[in-house]
Chains A and B, each alone.
Chain A
């Protein structure tokens, strides 16, 4: 507990608030700088569809009031901040009676499940591969084989997802091309449903794992090589410790810490990239909901989802940052 001083915790909390505030402000200001009025556009689209809408002008006014688009911009801004703080994300423009928060809550478990599992697997696998690549005792066959796993490193998640769909869903028909579960199986915490979810989730998860693994492997390899020259490693070997102990407790233990920092920094990018994966696989998470929002020009839905995404990554980073001093006893913050 040495490193977890109140000052450090306060500073991290401050960062968390700042990140969320910055994100919320950007998604508030930029749309208002853009030309066009979402409500007017919305009503005119309804007019196009229905031919005539009774009291269109009143409707525009009423909706503006409802969505907080009337009044001076500062008042709007504070209203917006207040509603965001209370998680009141308003009504969806495209499927009006349903609220954005409800839609998000339905989609959230899928995203969190897919993303956390995929990131965890890729982090663990990638670090293992990287450490093995740098470890002197790695057998030769593995040393030659390991770099092959990094082939797909630079390909974006979603493009690899398309390739996976083509080969494994369309060509070989091993996995379904889209969705998260078979609709004929009733939802619930029973074995058939869970197996079904795993079956459907394999390809989306794979497209994240395979493409992001190499990033961790390269970082880990660099850290392990640095560590290898350190005195404590030489001492550990000289003492005659078993190799696996030197590898895990001396090599990995010291190299994993900067990797966790890197993980915290790249969570935002991973979350962004996975929205595209969900869109490709029509996986019913936040990313797919976001795509539906774009298709239906549903601005409140888009804003709400992006806010939740920003909030989610900021919180994940906060948790990692707060765990960090616990994992690394050498670091004490705040002095």
Chain B
């Protein structure tokens, strides 16, 4: 479907020179920008595996972002955190201290031994201690924190020294404290150890199941695009068939098709899809696309029907009819080229709709569980309260990629709309 669109459009663009941005999508800045954004995501899936190990998208292939309690250095880190709280109390930021205290308490403990151990080897907290004597880790002594924290904030062991920077809040204190321990990792008040945060080994961070986010993107993003393309493609084919049937045959066929497509279009498709996938549970990417296609056809059907009705009585169609062209020829050689801009706009819109529905289902935990997808990553992030733990990379990066996809498709749709619908150009011409 897309290839024919592209071919036809390309031909018309090369044939006539002196076109403006409303004649060909290849001259329309909105369409081109959108196309670039979508291609960027698609290319990421193609080229990405050459530069980055896509196997890291598997569970437990990367450090998990939770510290196990038996990991070496865990206790010291906890004490560091306590010290951070105590100094923030003395620095009259009492409003922030309960929050950071609750973060310490609320930090879930990772159950897996091997991968947990590996997470600690990534940034071994004991190694820097050996190097720099200044950051004194005083064993298990609970009374030591004051000196520790002051050394953490680089003031040379004097507990009262923070007086020259009294407004320091918990976040910067813990950052300073942990940065001496794990130099690669950025810690914040809500994620005090900075576990899983972007680092040199894992540029986009890792998540609790031990997946590398960059690898998840490389594997997941093209999948989302594919679901959208398959679903919208099937919806388009069905829509073309039904739309032409309704527009050409008229009578009861038209009535039935129009009524049913009007009815289906008002059903909240996402809700029905939720029922279906709640029963089917383990859906593959392809099955999901088929499910989504169930609700992708009424749009194109309505559009094509309306256009066919207006075209049917146009001169060139009547001419073709008089010269004995078959019905099939009239449909596909006379009408189809004129429908192209509409179809293309509707197609990109549908792709976006299908991806939206797919990510929605996945975000509810109803997607494929074995393969990483962007939506499932968001689901895991929400379930692990990553938003409130400040692990922005976990949910933020999939969302950023999805936003690129959606914005790209949206720009393409708008650009194609401008070509199909001369009315929309008005304001710019003035």
Contacts and interface: CB of A to CB of B under 8 A. Distances in A.
Nearest to A11: B259
Nearest to B360: A276
Contacts of A299: 278-279
Given A218-B414, A228-B426, A294-B274, A314 B266 contact: yes
Contacts of A34: 276, 279-280
A2 interface: no
Contacts of B390: 170
A207 interface: no
A271 B399 CA distance: 21
Contact of A15 (B259, B406, B407): B259
**Interface class of chain B by DSSP:** helix
A155 interface: yes
Interface residues of B, number: 53
A111 B409 CA distance: 30
Contacts of A133: 427
Contacts of B421: 222
Interface residues of A, number: 62
A221 B423 CA distance: 10
B259 A156 contact: no
A280 interface: yes
Given A36-B279, A225-B424, A177 B274 contact: no
**Interface class of chain A by DSSP:** helix
Given A272-B268, A313-B267, A136 B279 contact: no
B387 interface: yes
B297 interface: no
A185 interface: no
A304 to B, nearest CB: 10
A163 B387 CA distance: 9
B392 interface: yes
Contact of B424 (A154, A222, A272): A222
Contact of B272 (A23, A225, A226): A23
Interface in A1-31: 15, 18-19, 22-23, 26-27, 30-31
Contact of A177 (B262, B279, B359, B387): B387
Interface of B: 190, 259-260, 262-272, 274-276, 278-281, 352-353, 356-357, 359-360, 363-366, 378, 382, 387-388, 390, 392, 395-396, 399, 402-403, 406-407, 409-410, 414, 421, 423-424, 426-427, 430
Given A272-B269, A275-B271, 8 more contacts: A26-B267, A156-B359, A162-B395, A177-B387, A268-B265, A276-B363, A310-B271, A317-B266
